[in-house]
Structure 1
Amino acid sequence: MSDITILLVDDHPIVREGYRRLLERQPGYRMVAEASDAASAYEAYKSVSPDVVIMDLSLPGASGLEAVRHIRQWDKRAHILVFTMHGGAAFALKAFEVGASGYVTKSSDASELIRAVALVAKGGRALSDDIAREIAAKRLAQPQSLTDELGPRETEILRLVALGKTTDEIAELLRLSPKTIQNYHYQIKSKVGAPTDAHLVWIAIGAGLVNAESLDLKSPITANR
């Protein structure tokens, strides 16, 4: 039986080294490429065509959600396992919407990651226990989150707006025109009922799309406009 070939995507070299060593100690697992951002992940996938992509979501610039989307647009058969610190159901559900095959949090036991890689490589779906509980709780909870009505691309743009990115910066990251980003921005505000970008920031924080501790809440992005 041939090895499971893996592309590992994470922006921290030391983190990649640690997980590479963990995975390569497993019989039948072989790391064939690494990447540190969404663009290099896409190029690496096209170059090596791995059996499984292990994808972090917190990448510089465009997030892992956009990387999953881009890879899956190029290869509908791509098997992508999201492996991230984001433990909220909102991110997990959006990841599956754009084509991820599994979602495991970095707080999970190492054995969960190893099992998930094997399952995803066979075409299955994998969830770490904590995420499975989060999704179940979300499905049972009422009312629904404001972000439930947003598509994956709208969710990514909301995240970038909340991080303080300008229209031109978002357009460059997502390879779209500024006009298209402006249209998305308007649609997002309309769907979630946010009159200003300040409201969008708080909605993104509430949905777990951004961490409040990482934001400068006194910056211009939080001013009404």
Structure 2
Amino acid sequence: MSHTLKIAVVEHHSLVRRGMASLLSGLPIVELVAVVAEPADLSPALPRPDVVVLGPSPDSEHSLEVVVDHLAGVGKVLVVADFTRPLVASALRAGAFGCVTRDGGEDELIHALTTVARGGVHVSPALTHRLHAELRTPSMSAPGLLAHREVETLRWVAAGLTHRQIARRMGLTEATVSTYVKRIRNKLAVGNKADLTRKAIELGLGPGDSHALPDGRPGSGVRV
């Protein structure tokens, strides 16, 4: 790739953040457009980066999937993490273009950046066995993959409510409900509302399921 890569770094650990900034700023192909601790610290006015390098905080109130989904609207996301939990498949499903371990070398990081910037996908060789195992785990396509609020949203969709009606019942904005539905479709690999409803019924979340939310009950849980 001949043009300069615009890179934004979002890394919660201060020492790692400084080290990554030092490494990347020394590369002639890289232009650092932001180096911040949290996604919320990114300025809306910054130039659109080719790649957002994300070092997720273990103390974040939001899941990695939610953070990746948010940052995917900023630029192509490359996750750099320990991956101590099965998160590789979920990060990719949420919209990440790459996953690199923290103990990977500089050469791999640079290769991952250029691959992701071109629109390719890079997964560290050290993570391929984990990714394969995650993809073979049945729970990855079951309700366990969905966050609590996503399960709640899916139940209301299956009950035939519009996004506006769901928003009122759950105390959310209509835009947030639309984001949840988009995320659910990506996670469950379904297209239209009819397919989504059929999938909800398959998972035991349809309107006739005994675990479904009773009509008129307000949503619960943490708002995002």
- TM-score band by shorter chain is 0.5 to 0.7
CA apart distance, 1:110: 2.3
2:142 counterpart of 1:149: yes
Post-superposition Cα deviations, 1:143-178, rounded to whole Å, max 9, x if no partner, equal: x253542476518989xxxxxxxxxxxxxxxxx999
d(CA) in 1 for partners of 2:170 and 2:149? 16
Percent identical among aligned pairs is: 25
d(CA) in 2 for partners of 1:20 and 1:47? 17
Q: Which residue of 2 aligns with 1:86?
A: 83
Larger radius of gyration: 2
Match of 1:114 among 110, 113, 127: 110
Given that residues 9 and 54 in structure 1 are in contact (C-alpha distance below 8 angstroms), is that contact kept between their aligned partners in structure 2?
yes
d(CA) in 2 for partners of 1:54 and 1:21? 14
CA apart distance, 1:21: 1.1
d(CA) in 1 for partners of 2:78 and 2:130? 18
Given that residues 7 and 30 in structure 2 are in contact (C-alpha distance below 8 angstroms), is that contact kept between their aligned partners in structure 1?
yes
d(CA) in 2 for partners of 1:67 and 1:13? 19
The one-letter code sitting in structure 2 at the alignment partner of 1:49 is: R
d(CA) in 2 for partners of 1:26 and 1:155? 42
Structure 1 runs not aligned, ≥5 long: 159-175, 196-225
Q: Which residue of 2 aligns with 1:61?
A: 61
CA apart distance, 1:27: 2.4
Q: Which residue of 1 aligns with 2:196?
A: none
Change (3 A) 1:113 1:150: farther
Structure 2 runs not aligned, ≥5 long: 152-166, 173-179, 181-199, 206-210, 212-224
Q: Which residue of 1 aligns with 2:47?
A: 48
d(CA) in 2 for partners of 1:2 and 1:69? 26
Q: Which residue of 1 aligns with 2:38?
A: 37
Q: Which residue of 1 aligns with 2:26?
A: 25
Q: Which has the higher helix share?
A: 1
What SS class does the counterpart of residue 82 from structure 1 fall into? strand
Post-superposition Cα deviations, 1:77-122, rounded to whole Å, max 9, x if no partner, equal: x31111111144x311111111111111102222211110011011
Number of aligned residues = 161
CA apart distance, 1:132: 1.2
TM-score, structure 1 normalization: 0.59
What SS class does the counterpart of residue 81 from structure 1 fall into? strand
d(CA) in 2 for partners of 1:128 and 1:155? 30
The list of structure 1 runs, each at least 4 consecutive aligned residues, that deviate by more than 3 angstroms after superposition, is 145-148, 150-153, 155-158, 176-181
CA apart distance, 1:64: 4.0
Post-superposition Cα deviations, 1:27-66, rounded to whole Å, max 9, x if no partner, equal: 211211022123224xx36632111100122253324432
